[in-house]
Amino acid sequence: ELLETDSFQEHDQLLRRLLPMLMGTNGRPGEGRTAVGRPTKACDQAPPVRQALVCPAVQGRVRCPMKPESMVAARATAPEVAPPPGAARFQCCTKSQVTVAYCEDQLRMMQPGLVPGSWEHTLYYEAARSLTEQRFSIMKSHHCTGASDLTWAPRREPMIALIVALQVVEANRVIQRRWHSRPAGYTGSTVQRMIQLRADLGHEPMVTPPRT
């Protein structure tokens, strides 16, 4: 259905407009106070999680008139943005770097890994989910690990833990044997999916640009 409606091409065009606009990162999130000076003794709350973010125009991923050097230094293929009137009130527009404190909801929903919606996020998480299901299928297979259920052993936590541990060991042995029996030149599923995606689009897919 996605191939018939050309949705892959539309999604790739969307990524080409959005991914260059991502704020750059200057370090990982960490706890820190937003106020200057010594903390009060009565303050018993944990410091907020903060992160230093960098303007994408400073990193040369977009061209912005508020960063005149980006209009020259950025690549010709970099998209040009048009800041709205009054954009100078934003710290990220007047400075090259800004430190942001995450609120509770932002911290709860934050995904610091692969960018959601990107091709890397889609392909790698698809492979990860498939691999997880494969591992559980091997562990629960009577022909691979020899364990059909947990009703034939003493129903005590230590014994069940030993049985599960032996299942993991034998599952690892099965996985290693299958790995060594693969033919030469085998490519992983993520590489194969990227090749298929490239063939469908007719050009290189849009990947997440470096943000550091």
pLDDT tens digits, 94-135:
888 899 888 889 888 888 788 888 999 989 888 888 888 877
Task: Choose between 158 and 170: higher pLDDT.
Answer: 170
Number of helical H runs and strand E runs in the chain: 8, 4
Start-to-end C-alpha separation, the chain: 37
What is the C-alpha to C-alpha distance for residues 125 and 54, in angstroms, rounded to an integer? 27
Token pair for 124: 């790698």
Position 41 pLDDT exceeds 80: no
Residue 33 near residue 45, CB atoms below 8 Å: no
Give the best-scoring range by mean pLDDT among 117-126, 137-146, 186-195: 117-126
What is the C-alpha to C-alpha distance for residues 104 and 82, in angstroms, rounded to an integer? 32
Helix/strand/coil percentages in the chain, nearest 5 = 45, 10, 45
Query: Which residue intervals of the chain are DSSP H helices?
Result: 7-18, 68-73, 91-94, 104-109, 119-140, 142-145, 157-180, 189-201
pLDDT exceeding 90 applies to what percent of the chain?
15
Report which secondary-structure segment, H or E, holds 98.
strand 97-101
40 to 29, 35, 46: CA distances (angstroms): 24, 11, 13
Task: Choose between 58 and 160: higher pLDDT.
Answer: 58
Residue 30 near residue 49, CB atoms below 8 Å: yes
- Of the listed ranges 86-90, 185-189, 200-204, the least confidently predicted one is 185-189
- Place 198 in a pLDDT band, splitting at 50, 70 and 90: very high
* Span 43-55, pLDDT tens digits: 667 778 898 999 9
What number is the average pLDDT over the span 163-187? 80
* Confidence (pLDDT) at 33: 62
A 10 A CB-CB count for 56 gives: 26
- Place 145 in a pLDDT band, splitting at 50, 70 and 90: low
CB environment 163-179: b (16+ within 10 A), e (fewer): beeebeebbeebeeeee
Enter the pTM of the model: 0.68
What number is the average pLDDT over the span 78-87? 87
- Place 182 in a pLDDT band, splitting at 50, 70 and 90: confident
Task: Choose between 154 and 20: higher pLDDT.
Answer: 20
Q: What are phi and psi of 97, to 5 degrees?
A: -140, 145
